[in-house]
Amino acid sequence: VVDVPVSELALNPERGGPKNLPIARVLVDDDESEGKGTCKHKPKLVILGCGWGSVAILKTLQADQYHVTVVSPSNYFLFTPFLPSATVGTLELRSLVEPIRTILARIKGHFLQAEAESVDFSEKLVEVSQVIDGEKRHFYLPYDKLIIGVGSKTNTHGVEGLEHCQFLKTIDDARKIRKKAIGNFEKAVLPTTSDEERKRLLSFVICGGGPTGIEFAAEIYDMLNEDLIRHYPRILRNEVSVHVIQSRSHILNTYDEALSMYAEERFARDHVEVYTNARVQEVKQDKIVFSEKTQDGKVVTKEIPYGLCLWSTGVSQTDFAKNLATKLDKQTNKHALETDTHLRLIGAPIGDVYAIGDCSTVQYNLAQNIITFLREIAWEKGKDPKEVHLTFKDWQTVAQRVKKRFPQAGQHLRRLDKLFQQYDVDKSGTLDFNEFSELLSEIDNNLTSLPATAQRAHQQGQYLARKLNKLAQVAPGMRANELLDGDLDETYYKAFEYKHLGSLAYVGNAAVFDVQGFNFAGGIAAVYLWRSAYFAQSVSLRTRFLLFMDWAKRALFGRDMMDL
Ligand code: FAD
């Protein structure tokens, strides 16, 4: 028997599962009939990860309905929207995190600081590993219901030399960036540093013009203006440079165009150099090589020497999620685990396994739904669907029905509107049913994607917890194994609907808001609004207090520039 040093869990002396590993069991107090070591009265709910999605579940789940065990390599929740502020010391790292055990206390859940390696869906076992004194130990954790919320990793896009870059996803990443940036300032003022070297050390390059890259650039810019002269009077402001390399035609390209233009103008005024339509080719130890498409369509190769290069160009699947996808026949998406609209992992036994947040994507099957609605229209006309020619008005009726069911499908429907009109319609302005079905299959891939944001993960976590609460109530007295019928999801709870509440970004003593069609960009008032919006979402009184203290400390004394 492998000794797993986790006080809350006892290991069943018997081994089992496909790899014959020790099986951990939850010891519970309320096992009257079955004796200790078993868990009959409440289903065993295992949650992988303690990020945005998982924490939303833990905060919404009613106590005493499930035996909850969270497995994650990090034992804290990280409030990512403020991570860029921690790289330059505007906020302290500890103010962005909340211990997961504090969050779990309300529902009396267990926590295992370990990593999920694999899942055996037929025996309902998660293979978990821990490294202790350099030795990797494995065991199984049984579940009745499993929720996968393992997040994502940085997308490398296959570019070489990323070992020279910094990333910004974890607390450790933010710490490394802060240390490196301050270290570079210190090196820049040494008497042995040449002018050329000094310029390179003080050059910050950001690859990726999405919200994370832009907020990091903004934080660096703020630090230079507010604290540099005080701490490093020998460094001239114009010796420090900030560059953003963006592959699209605008930065913040998922925001309303007016807002990305505002951010670009702001950066131009603040001497943050933005290269658009530019692709990084290679990151060398001291310089970055990229190609830029000029306005006359020519592609030129450029180089920028750097002292710190941040790589922030989107996300991709973790190895664990990739491994699960290969085990399941019906998983076809290369970027995320596909779920149905009830967030059940497609291909896994129905009702057992859910996936939420960045590691997942919802397969809306919109194309299939549209076809069903089209068929209804045909039957309403008293015709076989295959014989029907659809008018644009028919399509609009269908679109309205689809929108009612899938409010988040708006942009896809607008695209279909256009396609319908552009398509080679016959003289009567109608479209053959089969042709329309083909047209739908062309856009099918787009119909699965939802943004990889905290907002989405949080909504999915809340949805799942509310559903689990409901399932526990609609089946009073139901014992663990009876609660496994996947149809309960559809019988007792609606499908998940994402409601986009808007996007915010900090752009250096200014902020931009793209909130449900209302766009707003501005200076200090907008910054306070931006702070308040996130402040309200932070998870505990403790983090709110710490955040408030950090902002007050910075306002009174400035940032401290120590490479601790
Ligand atoms: P995460 O929050 O990433 O959590 C994943 C968890 O899984 C972690 O606890 C991890 O340790 C754990 N894990 C990983 N592998 C395993 C494994 N094998 N076994 C067990 N556990 C595992 N979104 C917004 O909406 N607004 C913002 O302003 C915003 N700003 C951001 C700023 C930065 C710098 C970053 C990096 C992201 C930002 N995001 C923002 C995106 C947002 O953070 C993510 O979309 C969100 O964290 C996704 O939540 P999640 O629960 O899916 O995963």
461 CA closest ligand 1 atom index:
51
Residue written as token pair 């390399």: 245
Q: β-strands 153-154, 315-316: how paired?
A: antiparallel
User: Could you tell me the domains of the chain?
Assistant: 9-153+316-362+453-492 (3.50.50.100), 162-314 (3.50.50.100), 366-447 (no CATH)
The list of the chain residues with pLDDT below 50 reads: 1-8, 29-40, 445-446, 477, 479-481, 483-484
Distance CA(249)–CA(477), nearest Å, equals 58
* 127 bridge partner residues: 118, 140
Tokens of 527: 């910054």
Q: How many whole angstroms from 358 Cα to the centroid of ligand 1?
A: 7
Measured in angstroms, how far is the CA atom of residue 152 from the centroid of ligand 1?
Answer: 7
Nearest-CA residue for atom 41 of ligand 1: 453
Point out the ligand 1 atom lying closest to the alpha carbon of residue 49: 7
Which residue among 72, 93, 175, 214 is best mutated to probe the pocket of ligand 1, counting the most ligand atoms within 8 A of its Cβ? 72
10 Å CB burial of residue 300 (0-12, 13-18, 19+) is: exposed
Our answer on whether the CB atom of 530 is closer than 6 Å to any ligand 1 atom is no
Spatial distance between the Cα atoms of 355 and 346, rounded to a whole number of angstroms: 9
Instruction: Please name the helix (run of DSSP H) or strand (run of DSSP E) that holds residue 128, with its range, or none.
Output: strand 125-132
Who's near 82: CB < 8 A, 6+ residues apart? 91, 95, 96, 534, 547
149 lines ligand 1 (CB under 6 A): yes
Residue of 359, 364, 365, 361 whose CA lies nearest to 338? 361
Please count the residues of the chain. 564
Residues 213, 312: contact at Cβ < 8 Å?
yes
Distance, CA of 159 to CA of 289 (rounded, Å)? 11
Alpha helix (H) ranges present in 270-409? Answer: 319-327, 366-380, 392-405
Q: Where are the beta strands (DSSP E) in 384-536?
A: 389-391, 430-432, 503-506, 511-515, 518-522
Instruction: For residues 402 and 346, give the distance between their C-alpha atoms in angstroms, rounded to a whole number.
Output: 22
Atom of ligand 1 nearest to the CA of 77: 9
| Cβ 127 under 6 angstroms from ligand 1 | no
Query: What amino acid is encoded at 114 in this protein?
Result: A
End-to-end CA distance of the chain: 42
Site of tokens 């945005």? 52
Q: Determine whether the shortest distance from the Cβ of 169 to ligand 1 is under 6 A.
A: yes
CB 284 within 8 A of CB 200: no
In 312-352, the DSSP E strands lie at 315-316, 337-339
Say if ligand 1 is within 6 A of residue 166 CB. Answer: no
560: which 2 tokens?
């401290």
Distance 158 CA to ligand 1 centre (A): 22
Specify the DSSP element, H or E, that contains 492. Answer: helix 487-492
Residue 138: C-alpha distances to residues 49, 129, 151 (Å): 17, 4, 22
Q: What is the pLDDT at residue 36?
A: 45
How many whole angstroms separate alpha carbon 48 and alpha carbon 11? 19
Contact between residue 408 and residue 495 where contact means Cβ atoms under 8 Å apart: no
Q: Check residue 376 and give left, alpha or beta (phi > 0: left; psi -120 to 50: alpha).
A: alpha
Nearest-angstrom CA–CA distance, 157 and 407: 32
Does residue 100 have its Cβ closer than 6 Å to ligand 1?
A: no
Angle between helices 433-443 and 366-380 (to 10 degrees): 160
Atom of ligand 1 nearest to the CA of 319: 18
Phi-psi region of 125 (alpha: psi -120 to 50; beta: other; left: phi over 0): beta
CB of 119 closer than 6 A to ligand 1? Answer: no
Distance 140 CA to ligand 1 centre (A): 25
Specify the residue with its C-alpha closest to ligand 1, atom 4. Answer: 51
C-alpha of residue 431 to centroid of ligand 1, in Å? 44
> Based on the number of CB atoms within 10 Å of its own CB, is 219 exposed (0-12), middle (13-18) or buried (19 or more)?
buried
Beta-bridged to residue 472, according to DSSP, are none
Nearest atom in ligand 1 to the alpha carbon of residue 356 is 52
Strands 389-391 and 353-355: unpaired
Burial of residue 384 (number of CB atoms within 10 Å: 0-12, 13-18, 19+): exposed
ipTM reported for the complex, 2 dp: 0.99
Instruction: Establish whether residue 115 lines the binding site of ligand 1, counting it when its CB lies within 6 angstroms of any ligand atom.
Output: yes
Q: Which amino acid residue places its CA nearest to atom 12 of ligand 1?
A: 49
Work out whether strand 21-26 and strand 9-16 pair parallel, antiparallel, or are unpaired.
antiparallel
C-beta of 453 in contact with ligand 1 (< 6 A): yes
- Position 7 scores a pLDDT of 43
Query: Is the minimum distance from the CB of 150 to ligand 1 under 6 angstroms?
Result: yes
**Both tokens of residue 436?**
């329309």
Determine the distance separating the centroid of ligand 1 and the alpha carbon of 553, expressed in angstroms. Answer: 28
Give residue 10's pLDDT: 59
Residue with tokens 């049913």: 433
Tell me the angle at which helices 410-422 and 392-405 cross, rounded to the nearest 10 degrees.
170
CA of 248 to the centre of ligand 1 (A): 24
Crossing angle between the packed helical segments 454-474 and 52-60, to the nearest 10 degrees: 30
- For the Cβ of 51 lying below 6 angstroms from any atom of ligand 1, the answer is yes
Annotate 182-206 with b (16+ C-beta within 10 A) or e (fewer): bebbeebeeeeeeeebbbbbbbbbb
By most ligand atoms within 8 Å of CB, the mutation choice from 52, 324, 359, 512 for ligand 1 is 52
216 Cα nearest atom in ligand 1? 34
